[in-house]
Chains A and B, each alone.
Chain A
Amino acid sequence: MTNQSSGPLLSLKGLTKAYPGVVANDTVSFDIGEGEVHALLGENGAGKSTLVKMIYGLVKPDSGVMELRGTPYAPAEPRQARADGIAMVFQHFSLFDALNVAENIALGMENPPAMRDLAARIREVSETYGLPLDPYRTVGDLSAGERQRVEIIRCLLQDPKLLIMDEPTSVLTPQEVEILFQTLQKLRSEGTSILYISHKLEEIRTLCDHATILRLGKNVGECVPSETSARDMAEMMVGSALQTPERSGREFGDVAMDISGLSVPSPSAFGTALKNVHMTVRKGEILGIGGVAGNGQDELLGVLSGETLTEADAVKLHGQPIGKIGPTDRRAMGVLAAPEERLGHAAAPEMSLTENAMLTGSVRENLEKNGFLNWGAAQGFAEKIIEAFDVRTPGPENAARSLSGGNLQKFVIGREVLQNPDVLVVNQPTWGVDAAAAAAIRQSLLDLAAKGCAVICISQDLDELMEIADSFAALNEGRLSAPRPTQGLTVDEIGLMMGGAHGMEVAHV
């Protein structure tokens, strides 16, 4: 630790911010020391984002004060925060695909230097911190990890005192995470403080010096992550004992779904083509498909759900070719799917939960007869989902968009699970869902498999896949690695299946 000065770099005192109907932050206080990697830990909706937005000047606190090195600090806008030495790398990148790296960085600067000088500085910074990046490459061609490097370098060029990183590893492969951590450790050794936001406990344990845990907008505890077990931190985060999903010993049956030689051109300019995908899932088996987002996950789900039609033989259900059969008939045959994007794909935002229950349930739940809809039955089905999956909503007449992300996800997964599928395909089943709900969703997938359903779980969350999947394969640029049994797989092997570090190793050799 390079804690030279006596006081903390930034101290937050009683920060409170309320939005209509919810208190996002309730008198949150903590200090970030000089040269410290400070973790901000909490579930989705715990108030992490609101808190960092206040620090970065995007949101004004209702009450409470901040002090930067002992002097009052109240940024009116991000520009002021940046001038005071605070930089932030957002979870979602704000880069222009059509511009090159240097142009993108120049756009975010107050007084950008000449392009040639800027490029030289980008090279210099990227070499110093082991983040190789060609300033003249077009951003559209970069991988997610490389885009993140653009954002980090953009911040480093300002010479920040405090670097805020919001869920930086969610888009990275394990090898890329390793490289990022080395960079962050180098920054720390130079005296830069880092506020690291995450809900991935193992990461925090390896990287961070201190952790502040938020729950429902309140600071519920602090700890030294390296001395606290992941389980203890998780329980502080959730506020109750965690239930780990149980997996019972399962026997696999016959092959339920068989994909062979599946190639599909990219549906849009920014999509990914699927290239010669092979896989089989047996009854009772959970096949986990990992990989960084944007490597063909959406496209694969589209092919399995029937939204994208293929050669008839490329997709087989119980030996029957179904590649040319659309979603409605596939549902009748027992193939159900839950897409990643809840609002707009899995559910219609402005429609009620009853209508959304009708959306996929009409065939298997007998909600229609000769094309005429039985709304009473649909409402009954919606109520059944709400009850079985503990969806928090006043009732099925509410619009889908009025639900929180986690609750809507429970509804979307529950809608498919309750229809007793033979094959269930889910994409990011627990994305943005709190830990308790995630555990419930995973348990429901395990229960479904125990009943003999073949489950294909596409997820970026490797811990999740290790927890529930029987076999694992990874998508990388539209190619699927050969599935392997999950047991005995090491993190390194998984990383390599996911496509290694996208050529990032060079940086630290």
Chain B
Amino acid sequence: MIVLEKRPQPSRVWSLATPLVAVLATMIAGGMLFALLGKNPIEAISTIFWEPLFGEFAFYYRPQLLVKGAPLILIAIGLSLGFRAGIWNIGAEGQYIMGAICGAGAGLAFYPLDAFYIFPIMVIAGALGGWIWAMIPAFLKVKFGTNEILVSLMLVYVAEQMLASVSLGLLKNPEGFGFPGSRNLQSYDSAHNAELIAGTGMHWGVVAAFVAVIFAYVLLNRHMLGFHIRLTGEAPRAAKFAGVKPARLILFCLGMSGALAGLAGLFEVSGPAGQISIDFNVGYGFTAIIVAFLGRLHPVGILLAGLLMALTYIGGEIAQGSLGLPAAAIQVFQGMLLFFLLALDLLTNFRIAIRKSEVA
């Protein structure tokens, strides 16, 4: 009889090994899936994992890794703070949109002025936009005890409507021949989040993501506030006993994740995306939830998970193009990754023991 035994201590080896084993298991199971679809599994897997990094066109794909990974990491870092404390912000997508609208709006308000201070103002406006959008569920939760999961999620749809509205109205490019969408910030130097070193994909958002990782690491491991966040997640009653004020923690965690999501939106709109448009958001806010858990809510883990997730996106696109794999198969593949990680996570706290069946 195979039974699960709770470990007296969480296993350190397994907590490090599970992500790797999960990736491996995903490759195997994903390979089987691709084989069933009639594709060569080895070719498909290597297209997804190898091609973007070391393939013929890696010079193009490698920068994409940073471009796609940075917003995921930035948002996931913010979310992980709340998730650690049991505060579930599901609406990062909405905060991301609001950050982009506010940041782009602030920049466009100066058009066509050329000044060094425009981009910093946009950064602040972007963070503020996301922060305010997240403070709505935070305030309602603190004041009226509403469920932040529902409120933050519903605000995503409100934000999407706002996005459509400003694309067609307030921020619409007056020289855009009536097409929806704002002026392109890439062609407005003072507001352009350009690559810091050409051809690397390195823009200010990537820098912000790295800073956020370090900031979160220090906060969680070296600071009282981070200790209180972890304590609240582990044992809410003990946290209260230790003197944590739950309301303050809710405001901080939601506000922080909102601000970071807003920043991600601003860096995206002023850089890779270039303009506010109806279909500006592509789901980074939701994917970041997966990234946060894939990185087991640890800042360094999130950094790696964000890059891995970006890799499967880029690799998946290549596989769709060159091998004709259906987009749904790629999504299943990404789902498998999360599935295996969560399933194998069990081994951190439990061990598998084989016991002889007892004789009565």
Contact = CB atoms under 8 A, between A and B. Distances in A.
Nearest to A359: B242
Question: What's the interface size class on A, roughly?
Answer: 35 or more
A408 B101 CA distance: 53
A60 B9 contact: no
A348 B243 contact: no
Contacts of A348: 231, 234-235, 238-239
A100 interface: no
Contacts of A337: 241
A19 B10 CA distance: 19
Contact of A60 (B222, B235, B358): B358
A399 B7 CA distance: 11
Given A74-B360, A345-B237, A371 B243 contact: no
Interface stretch (A26-34, A271-279, A349-357): A349-357
Contacts of A326: 243, 245
Contacts of A339: 241
A305 interface: yes
A20 B350 CA distance: 14
Question: What's the interface size class on B, roughly?
Answer: 20 to 34
A362 B227 CA distance: 11
Interface in A343-397: 343-351, 355, 358-360, 362, 368, 371-373, 375
Contacts of A306: 243
A372 B222 contact: yes
Contacts of B243: 306, 326-329, 331
B5 interface: yes
Nearest to A355: B227
A206 B226 CA distance: 55
A89 to B, nearest CB: 25
SS class, residues of chain B in contact with chain A: helix
A373 B8 contact: no
B234 A372 contact: no
B9 A399 contact: yes
Interface string B183-223: 00000000000000000000000000000000000000011
B238 A371 contact: no
Given A76-B360, A373-B222, A398-B9, A307 B231 contact: no
B37 interface: no
Given A327-B242, A371-B224, A372-B222, A349 B234 contact: yes
A402 interface: yes
A329 B243 CA distance: 8
Contacts of B225: 371
Contacts of B8: 399, 401-402
Interface in B235-265: 235, 237-243, 245
A127 interface: no
B145 to A, nearest CB: 14
A372 B242 contact: no
A433 to B, nearest CB: 20
Nearest to A329: B243
Given A60-B360, A372-B223, A402 B240 contact: no
A172 to B, nearest CB: 27
- The winner among A359, A360, A401 for most chain B CB atoms within 10 A is A359
Contacts of B360: 60, 74, 76
A61 B47 CA distance: 57
Contacts of B235: 343-345, 347-351
Contacts of A375: 222
A359 B223 CA distance: 13
A341 interface: yes
A360 B358 CA distance: 46
Contacts of A341: 237
Contacts of A344: 235, 237-238
B234 A350 contact: yes
Interface in B1-21: 5, 8-10
B231 A351 contact: yes
Given A348-B234, A398-B9, A307 B241 contact: yes
Contacts of A359: 231, 238, 241-242
Interface in B27-84: none
A326 B242 CA distance: 10
Contacts of A346: 238, 241
A423 to B, nearest CB: 16
Contacts of A307: 240-241
Interface string A107-145: 000000000000000000000000000000000000000
A347 B238 contact: yes
Nearest to B218: A372
A256 B287 CA distance: 56
- The winner among A307, A343, A348, A401 for most chain B CB atoms within 10 A is A348
Contact of B241 (A76, A345, A362, A401): A345
Contact of B224 (A76, A305, A362): A362
Nearest to A301: B241
B10 A327 contact: no
Contacts of A345: 235, 237-238, 241
B216 to A, nearest CB: 15
Interface in A202-236: none
B234 to A, nearest CB: 5
Nearest to A378: B227
A360 B237 contact: no
Contacts of A372: 222-224
Contacts of A329: 243
B351 to A, nearest CB: 10
Contacts of A373: 222-224, 227
A346 B238 CA distance: 6
A305 B241 contact: yes
B221 to A, nearest CB: 8
Contacts of B238: 344-348, 359
- The winner among A331, A345, A372, A375 for most chain B CB atoms within 10 A is A345
A401 B58 CA distance: 49
A343 B8 CA distance: 14
A307 B243 CA distance: 7
A402 B349 CA distance: 12
A154 B360 CA distance: 28
B304 to A, nearest CB: 23
Contacts of A398: 9
Interface string B109-147: 000000000000000000000000000000000000000
A329 B242 CA distance: 11
6 contacts: A327-B242, A348-B239, A359-B231, A372-B222, A372-B224, A373-B223
Given A326-B245, A351-B235, 17 more contacts: A327-B241, A344-B237, A344-B238, A347-B238, A348-B234, A348-B238, A348-B239, A349-B234, A350-B10, A355-B227, A362-B224, A368-B224, A371-B225, A372-B222, A372-B223, A401-B8, A402-B9
The 6 closest A-B pairs by CB, nearest first: A328-B243, A327-B243, A348-B235, A402-B8, A348-B234, A345-B237
